Amino acid sequence: MNRMPIAGRPGLRHSLVLVLGLATLGSALSAQAVEPTPTDRPAEADETMSFAQRQKLDLSEYTVTDPDASYFDVKARMALLQRTDNDLLQYNRDQLEQGPSCRQELSKPALDSVIRIPGYYPQPKAWELASEPLFDFEDTVSNLAGSYVASGDDYYADCLVRFLDKWATHDALSQFYYDRLEPQGWYSTESMMFAAALAYSVVRPAVADKRPEAIERIDHWLNTLAHKHASIRGGDPSCCNNHFYRRALYASMIGVLTEDDELFQFGVSAVYSALNDLTPRGALPHEMARGRRASHYQNYALLYLVTIMQVAYRQGYDLFDFEYHGHTIDDAVQFALDTFDDPAALGDLATHAQYYGFLDDEQYLAWMEIYLSHHDDDRVAHYVSQKRPIDNRSAGGYVTFYFMAPQAQPRALPEPDRAELAAFEPDA
């Protein structure tokens, strides 16, 4: 499985505003106020929800109901994987069940110094070099979680808890360099936090009785990190675009793990905000502003929104059919697919000379595997069938292994032979 770095690439040139009061999110995450009045709502369907309007949402009905519920039913999935005769899932299981050495993983240093990362678009090579330790962290936590699910061996669950406890003990990730003109350290730690939270949710019940003190330290560390990180509100549009959805993803999962309703509601607020923002055709205006990467960023936003919805689903809240201001998430999904099929679907929202390289990288399709566990969709199924088994080091982990129905696809599609490809390539 090919893992290409994707964390922290979007929105690198947007300026941000630092909100004071890092010890608590306070009003920045408050979701206890009254339902917004009609004058608080956007006047037109394609006008986006402001930060102030979002704070007036009454999301008090969304509370954590099961702090031990991961973003998928771990026990049920492990049982299915042990009895399935699906070749693709068996292949995936065989790859994962012989996991990494715990001693080797624990020897890696925690990032307890200031994290400062150059912007991706102006300095892609420097960004990639500086980001390697961050990607390694994400790979480590998702690999250990996957190995636990594949093997059923508590060794991997225990190792993941010990690994995160080391980082919690060092208060790692708490120091990230932030400046409104250099926000990449803030951006890059987003995915580390939800990678850790999602993976940790998979294994925590298996280790809770064995290492209660470590569990307490990790829970406190993650909760403190989430409040500190999310208290940086972000300017326009980082307050409200895909970076907001990324923050909402770690908030939703950490909110569940630590029984923090405020964080959980912050996560859910991203779904409300996104549905509110959709144009009549289902476009996310903040993502359309990315020009020739508009289609890419519509898809990128879905990567986080769908995963947030899955976290909420496991708490008893089905947002996959939820309608808000006349929209459901399927409107955003269908618009994205329309633009994949024909960039003319963008109309006058963005140039039709779109970048589609992301469709060749399986990680960007991880949301589709989760989405298919709730809705049948032939076009979504077509895209994932070309790339299975799909995994994403941070947003969802080994999603084919965790979510695909065994009857959906018996085996991976073989890569075309290079000679065969060459026969169809036009002359230079």
296-341 pLDDT, tens digit each: 999 999 999 999 999 999 999 999 999 999 999 999 999 999 999 9
Residue 416: predicted pLDDT: 61
Token pair of 341, please? Answer: 């099929």
Burial of 363 (0-12, 13-18, 19+ CB in 10 A): buried
Residue 418: predicted pLDDT: 56
Residue 187: predicted pLDDT: 85
CATH code for residues 26-424? 1.50.10.100
In the chain, where are the structural domains located? 26-424
Phi, psi of 142, rounded to the nearest 5 degrees: -70, -35
User: Per the confidence metrics, is the pTM higher than 0.85?
Assistant: yes
Answer yes or no: are the C-beta atoms of 399 and 372 closer than 8 Å.
no
Per DSSP, 392 falls in state B
Q: Which residues contact 31 (CB under 8 A, 6 or more apart)?
A: 55, 57, 58, 59, 60, 62, 262, 265, 266, 268, 269
3-state helix, strand, coil in the chain (%, to 5): 55, 0, 45
Angle of CA points 189, 244, 366, to nearest 5°: 75
Count Cβ atoms below 10 Å from residue 196 Cβ, excluding itself. 31
Query: Strand pairing partners for 324?
Result: 327
DSSP letters spanning 193-261: HHHHHHHHHHHHHHHTTT-HHHHHHHHHHHHHHHHHHHTS---TTTTTSHHHHHHHHHHHHHHHHTT-H
Task: Give the pLDDT of the chain (428 residues) as one tens digit per residue.
Answer: 444 333 333 332 222 222 223 233 444 443 333 333 333 333 334 488 988 899 999 999 999 999 999 999 999 999 999 999 999 999 999 999 999 999 999 999 999 888 888 887 788 888 888 889 999 999 999 999 999 999 999 999 999 999 999 999 999 999 887 777 777 888 889 999 999 999 999 999 999 999 999 999 999 999 999 999 999 887 777 789 999 999 999 999 999 999 999 999 999 999 999 999 999 999 999 999 999 999 999 999 999 999 999 999 999 999 999 999 999 999 999 999 999 999 999 999 999 999 999 999 999 999 999 999 999 999 999 999 999 999 999 999 999 999 999 999 998 887 666 554 444 444 43
Token pair of 230, please? Answer: 């999310």
Residue 408: predicted pLDDT: 96
Residue 19: predicted pLDDT: 26
Residue 12: predicted pLDDT: 26
Residue 419: predicted pLDDT: 54
- How far is Cα 367 from Cα 381, in angstroms, rounded to an integer? 12
